[in-house]
Structure 1
Amino acid sequence: MKYAIVIPDGCADEPLEALGGKTPLQAASVPTMDQIAADGQVGLADNTPAHFPAGSEIANLCLLGYDPNRYFTGRAPLEAAASGIQLGPYDFAVRCNLVTIENQTMVDFTADHISSEEAAELLSAAGEALLGDSGGRFEFVPGVSYRNLLIYRGDENTQPPFSADTRSTAPHDLTDLSVADDFPRGPGSDLLVALMNGSADVFADHPVNRARVQAGKRPATNVWLWGLGGAPDMPSFQERFGVQGVMITAVDLLRGIAALVGWPRIEVEGATGYLDTDYAAKGKAAVAALQDYDLVCVHIEAPDEASHEGRPDAKIEALQQIDQHIVAPLKEALQGHGDHRILVTPDHPTFCRTKKHTHGMVPLAMAGTGITPDGQTTYDELSAAAADRRFDHGWELMDSFIIR
């Protein structure tokens, strides 16, 4: 039995006036996704419980069958796992974005998609200037582009400065909004705020930013710290469902979730986590992986990035590329593997209008062995809402998708 899961991140949206009252998914030409809907079943799943942030960290845990009430400790620990960073019982990981803030407004939560090399240089300078008095407990860890980490190392003799009550706000939820009231709050927040403010002084006249401004790019004005938490304790996917999976993604969050559930990762050359990702290369890698794994999961960040930029045209194009170069070859390849199932579903909605993740149901389509067609013929928010299948707890979807 073979399984494929395709996650077009953030593809669920609302009807847009610019698209004649259609959602981007309705406006896009996605014949293979529509065929999966026609061959099988569509429905809705809620991967973002109201008492959690409407973020990819919660949504993807739910989507893969893990109840966040039991397993979620914070976003940053998931990304730490992606980098092979082991967190001890007294350690914390903190997500560290490089951002552009002007006049107390979050102009760009990616610092104009700053390069990894530039980010590493800025974080090195911030570490030297700001972490010297921390006794080696804090460390900036460069990641990919604007996505980086701050690691705190504690021990049994020292009370950690943070706790589950330390609150923070994701910078992508503040796009074009004032940040004045959204700095960290609660235990240890004074440390985080001091680092955020201190980084602004370090970055202000840094050579990296001078060069970026001269090249017509936005500078990274400071770090934004959020999503902190301690080490999670999760059973493997194989323990839970009896299936060995593999992850294909360009995003550290999904790499980390894969590591924690016991999935290896396939790194695809040209996969960027942005709109310019190599869709075809991801599709080819996924087809090849079916030879070696029970389940292949392909995550594509591009639709989410288009929404964060408020660009429905780019979102439509990303969906069409996903359908043509990832879903279509996977669907065809599965036919040659005997019994199989395929699932297409985003993690959470991301609205082009607000440029934010949001709570709410997302449409899903699944087809394959043992799945009886339900009469729907298209894959979109409207057809999913009209169907009978509904998962009010998104983490229960895997129990229906995986045959045990």
Structure 2
Amino acid sequence: MKYAIIIPDGCADEPQESLGGKSPLAAANTPNMDAIAAAGAVGRANNVPEHLPAGSDVANLSLLGYNPNEYFTGRAPLEAAAQGIALAAEDWAIRCNLVTVQDQTMRSFTAGHITSEEAAELLKALQEELGGDLLEFVPGVSYRNLLLYRGEKSPAPFSQDTRTTPPHDLTDKSVADDYPRGPGSDLLSELMSRSVEIFADHPVNKKRIAAGKPPATNVWLWGIGKRPALKSFQDVYGRSGKMITAVDLLRGLAALVGWDRIEVPGATGYTDTDYAAKGKYAIDALPTTDIICVHVEAPDEASHEGDAAAKIKALEEIDRHIVGPLHEALKKQGDYRILVTPDHPTPVRTKTHSHGFVPLTICGSGVSADEYTTYDEENAGRSALSFDDGWRMMRHFLDS
């Protein structure tokens, strides 16, 4: 049996007045997702418990079949794993976004999608001014970077009660009441404040302003946590897996559960990603793995920008270049199952992640067809196939 999982990140949404009362998923032309729904089952899963943050970290951990109440320790440690960074038991990892804050308002949680090369220069300046044996600023991809606190020589002031706010939750909102709080928050707030001074006259920002681009005004620290102790997917579910993604969070999850990671040229983690290349690489991987998982960040990014048209386009590209070709390849090779499901809702209206159920559709060997012939939130809400604990869905997909 071969298995395929396609994750259109953040695709779950609300009815839009501008779309005639349809959600972007319902409004999009997705014949291949609908074919899966018609041949199999439509359902829903709640991947994020109410008491945990509605982020991709918790949601994807749950989607891959791991109880977040047991395994979630924070987002940044997952991204550290993606970069092969070893965390000692005393270490803490912290997400370090480059952002644009003006007049105490989050104008851009990506600093205008700053380039990785520009980000590396800014992180180098932070390391020279603020880093040392305890603090290590680690460049990542674009605005997504890390800060490591090495706690062997000096215990960290943080705890599980340290609270931070994801910057993408603050788009076009005041940040005044959302700085870190709890144990160690003074240190985090001080580092964020110091970065303003360091970035103010940096050559990278001077060039960006001259080119009409938003500057990276400071870092925003969030997603703090210690290393998680995840069991391998092979040990838990008895299958091997491979992950295709352009996002460090998913790379890190794959590394921690023992999945191989496939790097696809042209995969950007944004709406300009090479969808066709992702589909091709997924098909090519089928002979060498039990499960191929394709994660696409584009619908989520479109939601964060409040762009329903871009979200629809991303879903149609996923359907055309990934879902369709991969499903056809699976049918030709023998027994299979295919699953399409996002991790969490990201409504265009709010521009941020939210709690709540997401729609899923499964078809393939041993999957009985239900009465639903289209894949969307409305049909998912009617279905009897429902997982209040989203992490239980994986066992159903693999073994039911």
Find the counterpart in structure 2 of residue 292 from structure 1: 288
Q: Give the superposition deviation at 1:43.
A: 0.5
Find the counterpart in structure 1 of residue 32 from structure 2: 32
Deviations 1:145-180 (A, max 9, x none): 00000001112x643211111110000001011101
Find the counterpart in structure 2 of residue 187 from structure 1: 183
TM-score scaled to structure 2, two decimals? 0.99
Letter in 2 for 1:8: P
Contact 2:45/2:360, CA 8 A, preserved across alignment = yes
Q: Give the superposition deviation at 1:128.
A: 1.1
Find the counterpart in structure 2 of residue 67 from structure 1: 67
Alpha-carbon separation, structure 1, partners of 2:13 and 2:40: 22
Aligned pair partner of 2:150 in 148, 153, 158: 153
Q: Give the superposition deviation at 1:215.
A: 0.5
Find the counterpart in structure 2 of residue 87 from structure 1: 87
Find the counterpart in structure 2 of residue 128 from structure 1: 128
1:50 aligns with 2:50: yes
Find the counterpart in structure 2 of residue 338 from structure 1: 334
Alpha-carbon separation, structure 1, partners of 2:235 and 2:180: 37
What RMSD over aligned residues (CA atoms) do the two structures have, in Å? 0.8
1:162 aligns with 2:158: yes
Aligned pair partner of 2:380 in 377, 381, 384: 384
1:178 aligns with 2:193: no
Alpha-carbon separation, structure 2, partners of 1:231 and 1:48: 20
Find the counterpart in structure 2 of residue 310 from structure 1: 306
Deviations 1:192-230 (A, max 9, x none): 100000000000111100000111100000000000100
Q: Secondary structure of 2:29's partner?
A: coil
Find the counterpart in structure 2 of residue 20 from structure 1: 20
Find the counterpart in structure 2 of residue 111 from structure 1: 111
Q: Give the superposition deviation at 1:274.
A: 0.2
Contact 2:134/2:154, CA 8 A, preserved across alignment = no
Q: Secondary structure of 1:325's partner?
A: helix
Alpha-carbon separation, structure 2, partners of 1:128 and 1:351: 40
Q: Give the superposition deviation at 1:48.
A: 1.1
Alpha-carbon separation, structure 2, partners of 1:289 and 1:199: 43
Aligned pair partner of 1:223 in 219, 239, 263: 219
Find the counterpart in structure 2 of residue 264 from structure 1: 260
Aligned pair partner of 1:397 in 360, 381, 393: 393
Q: Secondary structure of 1:350's partner?
A: coil
Alpha-carbon separation, structure 1, partners of 2:95 and 2:129: 19
Alpha-carbon separation, structure 2, partners of 1:240 and 1:401: 14
Alpha-carbon separation, structure 2, partners of 1:291 and 1:329: 15
Q: Give the superposition deviation at 1:403.
A: 2.1
Q: Give the superposition deviation at 1:315.
A: 0.3
Contact 2:93/2:149, CA 8 A, preserved across alignment = yes
Q: Secondary structure of 1:265's partner?
A: strand
Q: Give the superposition deviation at 1:75.
A: 0.1
- Give the number of equivalent residue pairs: 400
Q: Secondary structure of 2:161's partner?
A: coil
Can you give the 5+ residue segments of structure 2 that lack an aligned partner in the other structure? none
Alpha-carbon separation, structure 1, partners of 2:92 and 2:140: 17
Alpha-carbon separation, structure 2, partners of 1:186 and 1:361: 30
Letter in 2 for 1:276: D
Letter in 2 for 1:40: G
Find the counterpart in structure 2 of residue 99 from structure 1: 99
TM-score scaled to structure 1, two decimals? 0.98
Alpha-carbon separation, structure 2, partners of 1:77 and 1:393: 23
Find the counterpart in structure 1 of residue 245 from structure 2: 249
Q: Give the superposition deviation at 1:375.
A: 1.0
1:361 aligns with 2:357: yes
Q: Give the superposition deviation at 1:245.
A: 0.3
Contact 2:196/2:218, CA 8 A, preserved across alignment = yes
Q: Secondary structure of 2:288's partner?
A: coil
Can you give the 5+ residue segments of structure 1 that lack an aligned partner in the other structure? none
Q: Give the superposition deviation at 1:10.
A: 0.2
Deviations 1:60-112 (A, max 9, x none): 00000000111010000000000000101000000000000000000100000
